[in-house]
Structure 1
Amino acid sequence: MPGDHSSKAYDMDLETIRSKVLTMGGLVESQFNDAMECFRGGDVVKAEQVIKSDENVNRLEVTLDDACSHLIVKRQPAANDLRTVMATLKVITDLERIGDEATKIARTAKHLHERGTVGVLNHYELVRVLASNAAASLHDALDAFARLDEKQAARIIAADETIDHEFRSITRAMVTFMMEDPRTISAALDTLWVAKAVERIGDHAKNIAEYVIYIVEGKDIRHTDYVYTKLDSKV
């Protein structure tokens, strides 16, 4: 009975942490979407709100890191339980970094519109597809973490190549614009800065998906061809 009681207490503590992690995920997802809206429409006031909201994300990171540390000390989880806590800590870190990237986008949007460079390039349309794919990956990664769905996680990891390809295409387009018309240099660099931030958000979503697989299967699949093998086998 004491062991059963301890296990239930651990499960309750971990579920509380997971719930707060998903709340943090919702915050950074909104932060990213709002930042892209600022980049599209030039809402400087909203950009300031996005930048300010990063403080909430940072506070959540500190709170959740502390909660995970206390859980390890208090419950002394072993094997699979410890693996879950450690992976959750990594998810928290990636979410905080997504918030940082969203803040970069908001700052760039603010500066772009304050300088009056809107219209030199259709900057939003150049990154629209990339941003849509990254936002979908982030949403699906949070969903996979909530449900511990390793199959969905595998699909997210495989889809990251599409995001990388789109980023490379944007880079080539920006170089062409700058070479053909020096007046576009400032706006092109702004667009590249945003595109890189979006691409990094896709990378962090991929990381979260990898942690889901680590929790479920106990495999560290970073820098491996695990996903392609998994998809080929239709598991």
Structure 2
Amino acid sequence: MPNVHSSKQYDLELEMIQSKILAMGGLVESQFQDAMSCFRSGDVVQADRVIKGDDAVNQLEVTLDDACSRLIVRRQPTANDLRIVMSTYNIITDLERIGDEATKIARAAKSIKERGAAILNHYETVRVIAAGAGAMLHDALDAFARLDEKQAVRIIAQDESVDYEFRSIMRTLITFMMEDPRTISIAMDTIWVAKAIERIGDHAKNIAEYVIYIVEGKDIRHTDYAAANKDLAG
């Protein structure tokens, strides 16, 4: 009976942590959306809100890291349970880094607005990659909430499209800078934004990989798991 009670308590604590992670995920998803909004509109007030909002994300990371550590110390999980806790810990880290990338986008939006740079349509340049990375992030959080392995595989496969789009943006902006030196400043800001978006896609992919690790117990990092599981990715 004590073991049953301990197991139930462990499950409750883990569910509470996972619920707070999803709340943190919702927060960073909003951060990213708001960062792209102010990058499009040049709204400096909104950009400042995104930057300031990163403090709340950082605090959540500290709180959740501590909750995971205390769960390990008190409950001493083993095997599958420990795998879940460690994967959860890593997902927290990825979410915090997504918040950092959103902050970089907001800072770039402020920089462009304050310089009055409007030689090229910087938002249209990154619109497609932003939509792709945003969808990956949303789906990764959903896959984590439902522990959906099939959706996780599809997310991993999508990262290739985001990477391709980033390389295309780089080629386009380098061409602009070579043809018209007046575009160099805003093009560099846009490159930093595109890189931040690409990194958000990478972190969403990481979350998907941890979902697979939780479900299957397979560490698929640095492997072409999506290609080897086309039936799931389709």
Q: TM-score range by the shorter chain?
A: over 0.9
SS of alignment partner, residue 229 of structure 2: helix
Alignment-mate amino acid for residue 145 of structure 1 = F
Q: Does 1:72 align with 2:58?
A: no
1:44: how far off?
A: 0.1
The 3 A distance-change label for structure 1 pair 48 and 185 is same
1:234: how far off?
A: 7.0
Residues 163-187 of structure 1 deviation map (CA, whole Å, 9 limit, x = unaligned) = 0000000000000000000011011
Matched residue, 1:46: 46
Residues 8-67 of structure 1 deviation map (CA, whole Å, 9 limit, x = unaligned) = 000000000000000000000000000000000000000000000000000000000000
What TM-score, normalized by structure 1, do the two folds share? 0.98
Q: Does 1:121 align with 2:130?
A: no
The 3 A distance-change label for structure 1 pair 126 and 216 is same
Retained in 1: the 8 A contact 2:133–2:198?
A: yes
Cα distance between partner residues in 1 of 2:231 and 2:22:
31
Matched residue, 1:90: 90
Retained in 1: the 8 A contact 2:136–2:204?
A: yes
Cα distance between partner residues in 1 of 2:220 and 2:20:
26
Alignment-mate amino acid for residue 221 of structure 1 = I
1:153: how far off?
A: 0.2
Alignment-mate amino acid for residue 160 of structure 1 = D
1:231: how far off?
A: 1.6
1:115: how far off?
A: 0.5
1:102: how far off?
A: 0.2
1:232: how far off?
A: 4.1
Residues 182-231 of structure 1 deviation map (CA, whole Å, 9 limit, x = unaligned) = 01101110110100000000000000000000000000001112221112
Cα distance between partner residues in 2 of 1:234 and 1:45:
41
SS of alignment partner, residue 48 of structure 1: helix
1:193-212 correspondence to structure 2 within 5 Å: 193-212=192-211
Cα distance between partner residues in 2 of 1:121 and 1:191:
10
Residues 100-148 of structure 1 deviation map (CA, whole Å, 9 limit, x = unaligned) = 000000001001100100x201000000000000000000000000000
Unaligned runs of 5+ in 1: none
Retained in 1: the 8 A contact 2:154–2:232?
A: no
Unaligned runs of 5+ in 2: none
Alignment-mate amino acid for residue 221 of structure 2 = R
What TM-score, normalized by structure 2, do the two folds share? 0.98
Cα distance between partner residues in 2 of 1:9 and 1:114:
53
Runs of 4+ that moved beyond 6 A: none
- Tell me the matched-pair count: 234
Q: Does 1:229 align with 2:228?
A: yes
Q: Does 1:101 align with 2:97?
A: no
